Chain A
Amino acid sequence: MKLLKSSIYIISLIFLFACEDPVDVDLSSGKAVIVADAILTNLDTPQKITLRKSQPYLSQNEYEKIQSATITMSDSQGNDYSFTEKEEGDYYLNENLTNIQPGQTFDLSININSEIFTAKTEIYRVPKIDSITWKLVDPLFGSENKNKMWLAQFWAIDPAGVGDTYWVRRVLNGKVITDNENLGVLAFDGAPGRANDDENLELPFIEPIGQSITPGYGGGPPTADTTRLQLGDTVGVHLYSISDDFADFMTILDNEIGNKGGLFATPTANVPTNFQSDSKNIIVGWFQISNVSEDYGVISDQKFTNR
């Protein structure tokens, strides 16, 4: 679909007949749903689950926080975990997950006003990041700024065997950058799509995925001039091991964010969820515990790698 968008972009540059403008639409919204954002990692940082409610699309209020829920978790090795609501609607894990192992499974239970919502997750393997490199390159197609720009790339080897799925998140100056323009990219055995199942090789993550830690690369419209990397920036990567189901979740989420009408828009879809419940209240969101590899480098014109 990116391809079609780029082609349409070229046409629109030439024809200049298309136009976009804000309009009033009556979006009669239904009953608010519960949103559980439960992405935890093995990193030694505070791990939290947030509980919010959905709101009408055009509302400009803050999301309503769901307070006084009870969250508990247990793993396949018989350990129990607990969460404490330190801020309204934000529940922090009291233990840590730094020693999780591939194959280990976790059960999460959220109790909101005596209604129980449960979800499961499994831990998958993740390779170490080999290094981060950077170089000066020509600007992206369509950029206003014609000066050369810094292109950073991470290097890692996807282990032999089929079925490894990753979520690559960009880190800039100590902050994980995730918003509507920066979802991160998905990698299937180190590539954007799963190869034939007889492949059983150790292969490097392909270039576009390695370069996705640079703003403007790895999806989104290629004109993000304002967010270029600068000398002295600390650029980094968080490589998450994830399940295929979570990859589907992120794919639908990506489609929905990029689904901006036009000739080739797909029908609006709701993101799936791995939460289950007997409650009449609808819950959306995802529970996932990921093994994460991290690495960082400071962009310098003296050396071109962090090793």
Chain B
Amino acid sequence: MIKHTFSTSILIFFLFVGILKSESVTLSGYVKNSESGETLIGATVSIPEIKKGTRTNVYGFYSLTIPSGKYKIRASYVGYTPFTKDIEINKDLKFDIELQSKSIQTQEVVVTAKSKDYNVASIEMSSIAVSTDIIKKMPALLGEVDVIKSIQLLPGVSTVGEGATGFNVRGGSVSQNLVILDEAPVFNSSHLFGFFSVFNPDAVKDVKLIKGGIPAIYGGRLSSILDVRLKEGNNKAFQADGGIGAIFSRLSVEGPIVKNKGSFLLAGRRSYVDILSKPFLDDDLSDAQFYFYDLTAKANYKLNDDNTLFLSGYFGRDVFGAGFEFNWGSETLTARWNHLFSNKLFSNLTYYYSNYDTKVRFGEEDTKFEFGTHIINNSLKYDLEYFINTDNTLSFGLEGIHYDFVPGDAEAISYGTATNIEIDDKYALETGLYIDYEMNMKDALKAKIGLRGSAFYFIGPGQYLEDNLPNSQIKKADKGQIISKYFNPEPRVSLQYQLNNESSLKASYNRTSQYIHLLSNTASPTPLDQFTPSSNILKPQLSDQYAIGYFKNFDDNEWETSVELYYKDMQNQIDFIDGANLQLNVEFEKDVLSGIGRAYGAEFYIKKNKGLFTGWLSYTLSKTERKIDGISQNEWYLTRFDKLHNLSLVLFYDLNEHWQLSSNFVYSSGAPVTYPTDRIQFQGIEVNYNSTKKRNEFKLSDYHRLDLSLSYTSEHDPESWINGQWVFSIYNVYNRKNAFSIYPEFVDNKPQMTRFSVLGTIVPSISYNFKIR
């Protein structure tokens, strides 16, 4: 089957190579920011006379095949001054375009990235790009700008609650999102359990969330893709950006390696609450450790017009300790080679490494317990984009991922006697092969048809459980032995029908598969939760998603609106038996239950792009359920992250050229929870008892919150080496105690229900950001 798909793609490829031998010429090149040389993702390059155009890919490359002739070429990108030039093309031409950022000239607020009518004109649906400019303008907890918290304000995205790690997309769990940083997966995107995300906003160039109509290039997760691309660094001049905040400070430097040829970016952050609070802590807390840091780096070098190399990496850690040690962190490394085979055929070869590990220690020296886990990925990926002509684009490629899961290396030392509690590593191989073909069928109809074939091999050496019956035994697999294998074809189809210049209808279907499972039995995943491969017992997760949408813009794209409906069917969703033991347990699969899931909803989105007032309103009506034998009387139950209503209002208001006001308001239905309804007494112990025997039958009270932020940007002085910005923000303005959970307890020998609010108070903060040139 794999072979078949591959030969089909080769065939299609050569078919189009034939088409290319016509009288047309190709204009190709990169679109960049004139000031920094940074390439622009999704910029439009068009020839208005013949109504043909294209957009730059994720590396800023475009290719436009047109009949030879004399044209006025136009390039545009929101937030930049459009570029136009008359050129005569008789033969293929390489033409790089530099666009000037408007923010240098004016303080105009720009809410959207990409081109103005992108949401209507593009075949993409269920996906949103958020520019870092916008993320930086939104009010944030303690003034710390946050990529993950920002996307939680978009339609279809929810969270279990404040301080929870990750995000939930269209009824998917946190572990069903593929979060990639320059293509390398990030297994835990949070610092401080979930209060902050690992992405340094100064290093991020582009953030794109794909909830549906997932292109075939992406695979491996069920629910969504969060594609985070790092800045390349200014290749014209050195600059530094930074900020001093309440929790951490950040600094980034970037500059040319060789002017106009190569550049680098180095960005670091460290929290310093531990240092600031030290004098105020009690003696026994003075040794307590609690901090996190991260370092993001990237370099690129253009060898010649056809070859560019990129190297990027992330390294971050959270450290806790006080008589114990508890730390976790991620490392990623991505090496890429962009190669142009021709001005129509763009290729990229990627190698990435990603590691997430945790370490735990109790006790010291001759009496201690140490425990560590890892998940390590090594991957090679080759992607090709063939810009056949303005109406046809073909993307195809392949990918191989090697997994090394280290479920637990533990050592207990008692009076100097060591006991090893070691669980074998688990190894797996995942491969993907894909083809995506986008075509303008008629003027009004566009289609994108894709197929991804994914395969997964759970391989030895290592232990595996022969079955999940109570008396099933552990077996040993030899090196290279295939314990189980899976193959899944994943069709992806998107259609767009342009009704007129300002409105379109879109539809999509996609199947996705996921071969790794997060063993998490808590309201919000903990840093200790581990991923485990699909095995002879755990089957790959599968999802089929259907979505339709209507997109309409008003007043020359000043207002964008959309309505999308989706329905999702999920298979092999896991949950856990009561009291499941998921750590350091060779037989953990005996504690895992598996079933089905479904999610459906309607998403409404209104956005204002221009003017003094800008911002958006997002409303989602949705339901997400699971049905798993052994849980909730084998009936459908709501997930902990189900939100019937979920509304966000994000507004920006320019008071004048220096002062800007922004606000977030969020409202969502209370999360479904399980309460004990009764209690029993056993050996003098009061024990909770749930007589309904159902999961998530109750709901917390509704969640709502208002945040405000006021920023002052000093006059832009081209002569000055430093430009600063003050940000005053208030989180939870009206001091609401939103419940994260409600739990039963005895207080003064009386039973009561107690509400726990993670951030149950108003949180004001001041931060200062600067730019040095």
Binding site for B on A (CB under 8 A): 3-4, 6-8, 10-11, 13-25, 27-33, 35, 37, 39, 52, 54-60, 63, 139, 141-143, 146, 178-180, 183, 191, 193, 195-196, 199, 203-204, 206-208, 248, 251-253, 255-257, 259-272, 284-286
Contacts and interface: CB of A to CB of B under 8 A. Distances in A.
Given A178-B684, A203-B417, A262-B740, 12 more contacts: A17-B758, A23-B754, A24-B753, A28-B677, A33-B678, A56-B677, A57-B677, A57-B751, A199-B419, A203-B419, A268-B688, A272-B578
A209 to B, nearest CB: 9
Contact of B682 (A32, A56, A193, A286): A286
Contact of A57 (B283, B290, B678, B681): B678
5 contacts: A6-B322, A18-B760, A33-B680, A264-B522, A271-B689
Interface stretch (B116-124, B207-215, B218-226, B523-531): B523-531
A207 B415 contact: yes
Contact of A18 (B273, B742, B743, B759): B759
Given A207-B367, A270-B690, A19 B761 contact: yes
Interface stretch (B75-83, B237-245, B602-610, B691-699): B691-699
Nearest to B192: A11
Given A29-B677, A193-B584, A11 B290 contact: yes
Nearest to B282: A142
A262 B523 contact: yes
B752 interface: yes
Contacts of B689: 33, 54, 57, 270-271, 284
Contacts of B690: 268, 270
Nearest to B193: A263
Contact of B322 (A141, A178, A255): A141
A251 B285 contact: no
Interface of B: 161, 163-164, 192-194, 273, 277, 281, 283-285, 288, 290, 320, 322-324, 326, 360, 362-363, 367, 412, 414-415, 417, 419-422, 521-524, 526, 528, 578-579, 581, 584, 640, 674-693, 695-696, 698, 701, 737, 739-747, 750-761, 763
Contacts of A195: 412, 419-421
B737 A21 contact: yes
Contacts of B524: 263-264
B523 A264 contact: yes
Nearest to B761: A17
A270 B578 contact: yes
Contact of A22 (B194, B422, B752): B752
A142 B322 CA distance: 10
B743 A141 contact: no
Contact of B688 (A10, A33, A57): A57
Contacts of A206: 367, 412, 414
B687 to A, nearest CB: 6
B559 to A, nearest CB: 37
Contact of A251 (B192, B326, B579, B701): B579
A257 B680 CA distance: 12
A146 B522 CA distance: 35
Contacts of A269: 578-579
Given A3-B324, A10-B322, A39 B683 contact: yes
A30 B584 contact: no
Nearest to A183: B685
B682 A253 contact: yes
Contacts of A24: 753
